[in-house]
Structure 1
Amino acid sequence: MAFWQLTRLRVVYPALLFFLLFVDGSLMAGMGGILTAFPWYILPTLTLVWLFYAVQFEVDKDMPFWLYVILIGILFDMYYTGIFGTYTLAFIAAVAVMKQLHKILDERLLSGISIFLIGLIVYLVVTYGAGFIIGIANVSLVTFFAFEVLPTAVLNIIVVTICYYPTWSLFQFLK
């Protein structure tokens, strides 16, 4: 791989990751009435989707990926919650699980959706667990899975499916 190709990936990937951090919040701010209509609570996780694509298409080996995961978790905590560690731990746990599953499953779309779904569930359970420990999550586990995890999974799997091959093409261009 030529140096300019490696540099291109190292510039574009974190720039888009940083951009998607703010897109997540903008979607919730702009479409909050739709995404949080009672009883549903749908959470767009485009940042996690972008991290998943790096794992799925194996571009994480060409850059300081874990540094990006930790930094985006810290920025997420600082910008959205003000509670340090919740999203940092959630991103690390979800990406670690996705990386382990990627060793077992291949790069086909259905395998990728399965990897992402399990990573998303880990991400949401870690944030729910942290919220429960802190005292800000006051819903039962059944309600959490039925009215937050399920609709969040549906939205984000649709996003992953629609963007799967265009992202693969982008990474092929950047590599």
Structure 2
Amino acid sequence: MAFWQLTRLRVVFPVLLLLLLFVDGDLMSAMGAIFTAFPWHILPTLTLIWLFYAVQFDADSEVPIWLYTALIGVLFDMYYTGIFGTYTVAFLGAVAAMKQMHAYLDERLLSGMTLFLIGLLTYLVITYAAGFIIGIANVGMVSFLLYEVLPTLLLNLVIAALAYYPVWSLFQFLR
């Protein structure tokens, strides 16, 4: 196998991860009026979806997934919130939960969406708990679940499901 075949996923994965970090913000900026229309608050998580694909399609054998998860969490904290640690812990917790559950689930679409659902719920609960601890989350648990978690789950599950097979093909091509 040629050297370029060994490095394709190692180069493409972090580049797309970094790109999706900025696309998350651009998407929220461009469609913020729709995503935050009262009473809803929808959060696109394309970066987490890309990390989910890495877990689901076993890219951790070729890519240092934990290093990239920690780095993207730090960049997310620095670029979007300015509060260090919240999204770093959320990304790491979500990837850890997905990796634990991946051992019990296969690579079919429904199993993958269940895996992503677990990771996204972990991510949202960690960010809510961190916001509650530092005093910036002033919404009740029922309102949080109904007006933020539910619409966020719907949007991101649809995005992850629509891109599932094209990304699977991309991972197969890059290997």
Question: Which TM class, normalised by the smaller chain length?
Answer: over 0.9
Aligned residues, how many? 175
Matching residue of 2:8: 8
Alignment match, 1:48:
48
The residue matched to 2:103 in structure 1 has which SS? helix
Q: Write the mapping of 1:2-81 to structure 2, written as runs, cut at 5 A.
A: 2-81=2-81
**Residue 157 (1) aligns with residue 161 (2):** no
Task: Work out the CA distance in 2 between the residues paired with 1:95 and 1:127.
Answer: 14
Deviation of the 1:2 alpha carbon? 4.4
More displaced stretch, 5-14 vs 76-85: 5-14
Deviation at 1:165, TM superposition (A): 0.2
CA distance in 1, matches of 2:10, 2:39: 41
What's the counterpart of residue 127 of structure 2?
127
**CA-CA distance at 1:132 after TM superposition:** 0.3
Q: Is 1:107 matched up with 2:82?
A: no
What residue is the counterpart of 1:93 in the other structure?
A: 93
User: How far apart, in 1, do the equivalents of 2:150 and 2:5 lie?
Assistant: 39
Aligned-residue offset at 1:42: 0.4
Distance 1:15 1:6 in 2: 16
Q: Tell me the TM-score normalised to structure 1 length.
A: 0.98
Q: Any gaps of 5 or more consecutive residues in structure 1?
A: none
| TM-score under structure 2 length normalisation | 0.98
- Structure 1 runs (4+) deviating above 2 angstroms are none
Structure 1 residue 5: Cα displacement: 1.7
Of residues 32-41 and 55-64 in structure 1, the stretch that sits farther from structure 2 once superposed is 55-64
Q: Is residue 137 from structure 1 mapped to residue 137 from structure 2 by the alignment?
A: yes
Bigger drift between 5-14 and 66-75 goes to 5-14
- Bigger shift: residues 2-11 or 95-104: 2-11
RMSD: 0.8
- What is the CA–CA distance in structure 2 between the aligned matches of 1:69 and 1:88, rounded to whole Å? 8
Give 1:3 shift: 3.1
Q: CA deviation at 1:6?
A: 2.2
Q: For 2:144 and 2:90, how far apart are their aligned partners in 1?
A: 16
TM-aligned CA deviation for residue 28 of structure 1: 0.7
AA aligned opposite 2:56: Q
Identity of aligned residues (%): 71
Q: CA deviation at 1:45?
A: 0.1
Which amino acid in 2 is paired with 1:73? G
What is the alpha-carbon distance in structure 2 between the residues aligned to residue 10 and residue 48 of structure 1? 18
